[in-house]
Amino acid sequence: MASNYTTNYELPLWEPQDSFLRTEFNDANQKIDTALTAANAERIHVGSYTGDGTTGTRTIPLPFTPKVVMVSGQKPLSNITYSIFTVAFGEYCHQFYGDGNSTSGNVSIVENGFQVQGSYHNDNGTVQRYIAFR
């Protein structure tokens, strides 16, 4: 049995004279798995929302303030539906739309979420998917 344990997760630390118990390894591995799962869950958030058709600013809440947000969806126009993909990080935003692109987009990072402005990424009934990185 371990005679010492780590400070943060109480993982076993064995001295040369200590005997090993399988249960100590299993318990330690479970603690490590739980800690890694929680750490990754706090760093990446994947989700979707359905556009509501408003042309003003709409905030999409997240469990943290992201450093990078990528939003992918569609923009229907007349009889054509364009794909639209936007990347926002810091003050920079780049939008890929149909067969063109722009260095100015309509996605901005805000505290605990991101905002979409205008009808891009918010057309009524269109599903928009995003991934946000802490």
Q: Where are the domains of the chain?
A: 4-41, 44-133
Please state, in angstroms and rounded to a whole number, the distance separating the CA atoms of residues 116 and 90: 15
- pLDDT confidence of residue 120: 77
- pLDDT confidence of residue 101: 58
pLDDT, tens digit (0-9, with 9 covering 90-100), for 26-41: 888 898 888 887 776 6
pLDDT-derived band of residue 60, with 50, 70 and 90 as boundaries? very high
DSSP secondary structure string for all residues of the chain: --SEE-TTT--EE--TTPPP-HHHHHHHHHHHHHHHHHHHHTTEEEEEEE-----SEEEEE-SS--SEEEEEEEEEETTEEEEEEEEEETTEEEEEETTEEES--SEEEETTEEEEESSTTT-TT-EEEEEEE-
- pLDDT confidence of residue 47: 95
Does residue 54 surpass a pLDDT of 90?
A: no
Report CA-CA distances (Å) from 99 to 5, 23, 69, 102, 117.
58, 58, 21, 11, 21
Does residue 5 surpass a pLDDT of 80?
A: yes
Average pLDDT over residues 10-14: 87
Does residue 123 surpass a pLDDT of 80?
A: yes
- pLDDT confidence of residue 65: 92
pLDDT-derived band of residue 87, with 50, 70 and 90 as boundaries? very high
Please state, in angstroms and rounded to a whole number, the distance separating the CA atoms of residues 9 and 7: 6
pLDDT-derived band of residue 129, with 50, 70 and 90 as boundaries? very high
